Amino acid sequence: DLLDSWRAAQDAMDHVRARRGPALVHAHTTRPYSHSLSDDERVYKTQAERDNEAGRDPLVRFREFCVNNGVATENELNALDSEVEDEIAAATAVAIKAPSPTSETVTRYIYSPDVDPCSEAFNVAAKPSGEPKTMVSAINQTLKDEMARNSQIVVFGQDVADTSHPETLLEVRGKGGVFKITESLQRTFGAERVFNSPLAEANIVGRALGMAIRGLKPVVEIQFFDYIWPATMQLRNEVTMLRYRSNNTYSCPMVIRVPIGGYLRGGSIYHSQSGESIFAHFPGLQIAYPSNAMDACGLLRTAIRCDDPVLFLEHKHLYRQTYNKAPYPGVDHMVPFGQSILRRSGSDVVIITWGALVQRSLVAAQQAEKLGIEVSVLDLRTITPYDWEGIAEAVAQTDRVVVAHEDQLTCGFGAELVARMADELFDSLDAPVKRVAALDCPVGYNPVFEEVVLPQAADIVRAIQDVVNY
């Protein structure tokens, strides 16, 4: 019954809004037809069950209510039915008359046709000023600048607000996330633009999807990469599919910020996971993975200003390091997606890497230099899209390659790169490409286990020696 359902829902909302706790509405519904054309409900429902459900059809009952209570006449409701039927018939006729698509259009509208984050429009040079900032401070400042620039940006997630009770802002310091990335955003921009969410990752991403469709620009946080898995259905089947399946009628540009990775000492199995390769399988999703404060600013600004969903991976170990600090690059600095950068030049071997392994690769390169081996270090910066041209150029200059990443070895993103190099760059290689990655094993709680499971600089040095001595 529509009115009973309305009253029950209103009572539940009043209960929750009065902060008396959660409420559950248990509604008994009907399904007036079989599940699909291949489903015949008569084989598992008796006629009595089907008759009972038909008698409880809420559309039929509400129609009777409207007529019996003078809300509308039969003629008015029939006219409404006809209007809807005509609309459906017209849309059906358009679809039937539409020409069959050509095969050349099959990949159209996976990404925005109008805004290309790989283009020169997103290549805006840094104008550094002030003291060097940590990655935490750099991301926080970038969020502030972008929120000041674009009033449609909303930020939410677990504990990202300064407080769940905005009326107490003058009395508390404020939280701003477990890593303080969003600290003071709520204080600056208000509780309507920065607020906490339930501990429900599918809810966070699903709500962001709806907001993005309606014109807002959600920049949401999943508290740890280890907890993103409940949201993968929303990401794979809804967020990344929307533009494609609607033929560019709808889009949902958003940024999903995710602290990722290990090297924490005690992060263990639920706070040390990597897995960027899994999300690289989602057509329609861009993935950025900065290794330092400057790139975090530039890539995040590109992510916010582009027109596609972006998974923005922030390595927890890099948040407050000193070696990757940088002065703030200004309010317009952007780094195009799909543009790698050479962190170190060498003529013998190139290490292709990203995230926290960039620093370990640089350390390994310095150690290899003492052995008489000159090593380049190429930081991809984005996973999808990735800079194939930059990779090909680096391989041509060295002829020997090591791919280093923190994700597990088996089916890690490095496997894709190595496969493509074998396919397209085989003639440039003087040795098999070596991969350095985590063991196919969870990260242990004990520091001894973590040291063994995750790739270290010494592992990279051994791989360098292997390809040189081949």
Q: Rounded distance, CA 62 to CA 258, Å?
A: 46
Q: Rounded distance, CA 353 to CA 431, Å?
A: 18
- Residue 371: CB partners within 8 Å, gap ≥ 6? 461, 465
Find the Cα–Cα–Cα–Cα dihedral 444, 445, 449, 452, rounded to 10°: 70
Task: Answer yes or no: are the C-beta atoms of 332 and 279 closer than 8 Å.
Answer: no
**Within 10 A of 324 (CB to CB), how many other CB atoms are there?**
24
Work out the burial of residue 322: count CB atoms within 10 Å of its CB; fewer than 13 is exposed, 13-18 middle, 19 or more buried.
exposed
Q: Rounded distance, CA 351 to CA 342, Å?
A: 10
Task: Answer yes or no: are the C-beta atoms of 407 and 413 closer than 8 Å.
Answer: yes
DSSP string, 11-56: HHHHHHHTTS------------S-SSTT--GGGTS-HHHHHHHHHT
Work out the burial of residue 234: count CB atoms within 10 Å of its CB; fewer than 13 is exposed, 13-18 middle, 19 or more buried.
buried
- Clarify whether 271 is annotated catalytic: yes
- Tell me the pairing of strands 349-353 and 375-379: parallel
Distance of CA 299 to the CA centre of its chain: 14
**Within 10 A of 309 (CB to CB), how many other CB atoms are there?**
28
Residue type, 113: P
Instruction: Please state, in angstroms and as integers, the Cα–Cα distance from residue 267 to each residue in 157, 224, 276, following that order.
Output: 21, 11, 18
Q: Rounded distance, CA 228 to CA 234, Å?
A: 11
Distance of CA 465 to the CA centre of its chain: 36
Catalytically annotated residue among 26, 28, 35, 271: 271
Task: Answer yes or no: are the C-beta atoms of 384 and 358 closer than 8 Å.
Answer: no
Tokens 């972008």 -> residue = 146
In the beta sheet, which residues pair with residue 379?
341, 353
Catalytic machinery residues: 271
